[in-house]
Amino acid sequence: MLSQIHSHPVLHECHTCEPRGGCLGLQLLNSPEARQQLCNAKKISCKAEHVFREGEDADCFYVVRSGSIKSYLVTQDGEEQVLGFYLPGDVFGLDTTAAQQRMSSAILLETTSICRFPHAYLTDMAQGSALLSIAAEQMQRDHNLMLMLARKDADGRIASLLDDLACRYWSRGYSASAFLLTMSRQDIGCYLGLAVETVSRTLTRLQECGVLKVNRREVEILDHAGLRKMAGTRVNSVAVEYCQKVVLRPV
């Protein structure tokens, strides 16, 4: 039985909180009162608990403080479609219907700490447009996923995912060359539209090519440029910087 993540609040000061790379959410709050309120809104909880489920009423969005989150839908015939993974610093939970209901479910992939941003603190115009620009960021990620699903083969999809994770970890101050996959092969498959077996086989193949090393959930990227070439990723500003500093100048 899964309990709601809201059950055991853990209080922290905002200024001690630093998802490396900065808290996107904080940019949305310009009044000191709002920030103060926010300090009471940190929650931490364990693997496999839901932050929210599709259809629930939504009065807030979230920022990942540490850990990781999986966003997903359940199809008509009970299958899962993963929409994305959120890492520290990422905003999630913006996708609500006009009636303020959740359009997707969000579940913890590991022990995770998140921040709650009630919509009530955001009644200010500037914040509305900031929200919109975060929503736009989300859309861009979505577009990338569509592109991947529509045009790439298994190698390209896996390479894309790993390149994306590397890039995002790097932009937050973590290593781009070695990290842990917090999601299962199953999750990866549901995200990329591949069977688990294909995910496993593809990782093995990339390893044989010398592009990376995999052991269960541990990944080490040996050839960033090669990986990116296989991925055929469209560039964005973060990726460009990542590329210049990491891909082209091996660490």
Residue 198 binds which entry of DNA, a copy of itself, none, CB below 5-8 Å type-dependent: DNA
Q: Which stretch binds DNA (CB under 7 A): 1-9, 54-62, 97-105, 196-204?
A: 196-204
In angstroms, the CA 142 to CA 104 distance is: 14
Q: Which does 147 bind (CB under 5 to 8 A by kind): DNA, a copy of itself, none?
A: a copy of itself
* Residues 20-79 within binding reach of DNA (CB under 7 A): none
Residues 6+ apart with CB under 8 A from 137: none
Q: Which stretch binds DNA (CB under 7 A): 21-29, 92-100, 167-175, 189-197?
A: 189-197
Build a one-symbol-per-residue string for 109-128: x at contacts with DNA by CB under 7 A, - elsewhere: --------------------
Rounded Cα gap, residues 36 and 128, in angstroms: 20
| Among 15-23, 90-98, 105-113, 204-212, the segment contacting a copy of itself (CB under 8 A) | 90-98
Task: Indicate whether 47 belongs to the interface with a copy of itself (CB under 8 A).
Answer: no
- Are 76 and 27 spatial neighbours (Cβ–Cβ below 8 Å)? no
Instruction: Judge contact between 69 and 112, C-beta under 8 A.
Output: yes
Q: 3-state class of 96 per DSSP?
A: strand
Smallest CA-to-CA distance from 40 within 62, 59, 14, 20 is with 14
Q: Which does 234 bind (CB under 5 to 8 A by kind): a copy of itself, DNA, none?
A: a copy of itself
Could you tell me which residues come within 8 angstroms of residue 72 by beta carbon, excluding any fewer than 6 positions away?
80, 81, 82, 83, 104, 105, 106, 107, 190
Q: Which of 131, 196, 209, 225 binds a copy of itself (CB under 8 A)?
A: 131
31 makes contact, choosing from DNA, a copy of itself, none, with CB < 5 to 8 Å by partner type, with none
Q: Which does 60 bind (CB under 5 to 8 A by kind): DNA, a copy of itself, none?
A: none
Using the contact rule CB under 8 A, the part of the chain among 6-14, 93-101, 177-185, 238-246 near a copy of itself is 93-101
Tokens 């490396």 found at: 20
Contact 62, 92 (CB under 8 A): yes
133 touches a copy of itself (CB under 8 A): yes
135 binds a copy of itself per the rule CB under 8 A = yes
Total residues found in the chain within this entry: 251
Among the listed residues 126, 204, 238, 244, the single contact to DNA using CB under 7 A: 204
| By the rule CB under 7 A, 200 interacts with DNA | yes
| Sheet strand arrangement including 42-45 | 42-45, 112-118, 60-66, 91-92
Q: Residue 23 carries which side chain, given as an amino acid letter?
A: C
Residue 39 contacts a copy of itself per CB under 8 A: no
Binding site for DNA (CB under 7 A): 153-155, 184-186, 193-201, 203-204, 214, 216-217
